[in-house]
Amino acid sequence: MRINRVELRHVRMPLLSPFETSFGRETERDCLILRLESDGLEGWGECVADRSPGYCYETVETAWHVLADFFLPAVLGADLGAPGDLASRLKPFRGHPLARAGLEMALWDLEGKRAGKSLASLLGGERERVPVGVSVGIQPSMDALLRTVEAYVEEGYRRVKLKIKPGRDVQEVGAVRERFPDLPLQVDANSAYTLEDWPVFEAIDDLRLLLIEQPLQEDDLIDHSRLQARLRTDVCLDESILSRRHARQAIEIGACRVINIKAGRVGGLEEARLIHATCRERGIPVWCGGMLETGIGRASNLALASLPGFTLPGDISATGRYYREDIAEPRFTLNPGSTISVPTRPGLGIDVVPEALDRFSLRRESFPS
Ligand code: NPQ
Ligand code: MG
């Protein structure tokens, strides 16, 4: 597979409603979209870096820089093997997993189109539909929170994740649990707590949650293992797990009993698949996280979540959860039973809508120019 040309775009899409987490409140979602050309085929990729380094240190600007100046020159004109071999080609470069993963996604799309196989089948997926849930941001009031959760439950979501932060936790989650006694419920702190906050965890531990996601700092497996030892509720790691080694070590020291897998965070689908295998061998359930993806990244998430070890519902909501208009078709909708169907056409199995993509593009550049 020889890459003849790459087009890079900075895209900004308005969110249907603001999304607030422990690291901030967003009304628009930025990302980078890559279009690769290889022997008359095009491959699409999404780099899930955001405008600000809130979820992780990368931003659309750092990803643009690293792709334009280092990663793209390393692949342009070269004869590439399988998409998973990108790692060896990018070996001279450190870090920037979101930028890596965006490029790798486009290679997987190309590979699927070349082979006439869906991304799910290339990765070893086994499910036609995957169970999904919805991630609910921090709301302006208790009333708004209960109404928002109720609306998603009425829409058919059967697993709800609540974002929490210090001061907006026990009362909020307790009220949702009281109102929806049997709803599969989980929380995500995005690293906002320390072990000093033990009383919060002790209270939350009584609320029959599916899991508590990333309560402590991302570089702190040790305190996560101390916390997990004191909790009945499963700790799930997100930001802390950047590679299969992190996954293995976190499991070995009891830092978590569940892992959230995001291809972006771990540098691509190949590493995601390896983490899935590591967890499966050890009986650790995994689920597919979300980064407010466009239809391109959402299609990739659905393919990944079709692998057999993804036994918990993913943060892969319907397109309409986030966007009025998307840059790819068809839109993803919720099936009865809180599932979304995995694309079956070759590659990612979606079509990018050029007019929509142009309208949301703030900047574009072709390589080689
Ligand atoms: C998480 N995702 O699991 C992330 C957090 C996240 C669906 O909860 C812009 C605005 C980009 C908010 C990327 C979900 C974001 C964002 C990630 C939130 O931790
Ligand atoms: Mg998370």
Q: What is the pLDDT of residues 234-267, one digit of tens each?
A: 999 999 999 999 999 999 999 999 999 999 999 9
Helices (H), ranges, the chain: 60-66, 72-75, 86-89, 97-115, 119-123, 142-155, 170-179, 198-204, 221-230, 244-252, 269-281, 295-305, 354-360
Domain residue ranges in the chain: 5-115+352-368, 121-341
Q: Quick check: is 163 catalytic?
A: yes
Domains 5-115+352-368 and 121-341 share a fold: no
pLDDT at 107: 98
Task: Identify whether the C-beta of residue 184 lies closer than 8 Å to the C-beta of residue 158.
Answer: yes
34 has which bridge partners? 8, 45
Run means of pLDDT, 10 residues per run, the chain, 369 residues: 96 97 96 96 98 97 98 94 94 97 98 98 98 98 98 98 98 98 98 98 98 98 98 98 98 98 98 98 98 98 98 98 98 98 98 98 96
Ligand 2 centroid vs 189 CA: distance in angstroms? 7
CA distances from 27 to 44, 244, 257 (A): 25, 33, 33
Q: What is the pLDDT of residues 75-85, one digit of tens each?
A: 999 989 899 99
Q: What is the pLDDT of residues 122-133, one digit of tens each?
A: 999 999 999 999
**What's the CATH architecture for 5-115+352-368?**
2-Layer Sandwich (3.30)
pLDDT at 369: 84
Q: What residue owns the CA closest to ligand 1's atom 19?
A: 190
pLDDT at 32: 98
* The residue type at 170: V
pLDDT at 241: 98
Q: Label the pairing between strands 361-367 and 5-21.
A: antiparallel
Question: Ligand 1 within 6 A of 21 CB?
Answer: yes
Q: What residue owns the CA closest to ligand 1's atom 16?
A: 291
- Looking at CATH, the fold of the domain delimited by 121-341 is given as TIM Barrel (3.20.20)
- Looking at all shown ligands, the one closest to residue 238's CA atom is 2
Q: What is the pLDDT of residues 194-235, one digit of tens each?
A: 999 999 999 999 999 999 999 999 999 999 999 999 999 999
Ligand 2 centroid vs 14 CA: distance in angstroms? 21
DSSP secondary structure letters along 294-348:
-HHHHHHHHHHHTSTTB-SPBS---GGGT-SS-SEESPP-PBTTTEEEPP-SSBT
Ligand 2 centroid vs 4 CA: distance in angstroms? 36
Task: Identify whether the C-beta of residue 101 lies closer than 8 Å to the C-beta of residue 47.
Answer: yes
Question: Ligand 1 within 6 A of 190 CB?
Answer: yes
Task: Identify whether the C-beta of residue 157 lies closer than 8 Å to the C-beta of residue 184.
Answer: no
Question: Ligand 1 within 6 A of 315 CB?
Answer: yes
pLDDT at 223: 98
Q: What residue owns the CA closest to ligand 1's atom 18?
A: 291
Task: Identify whether the C-beta of residue 9 lies closer than 8 Å to the C-beta of residue 32.
Answer: yes
Question: Ligand 1 within 6 A of 218 CB?
Answer: no
Ligand 2 centroid vs 190 CA: distance in angstroms? 6
**Burial (CB count within 10 angstroms: exposed 0-12, middle 13-18, buried 19+), residue 195:** middle
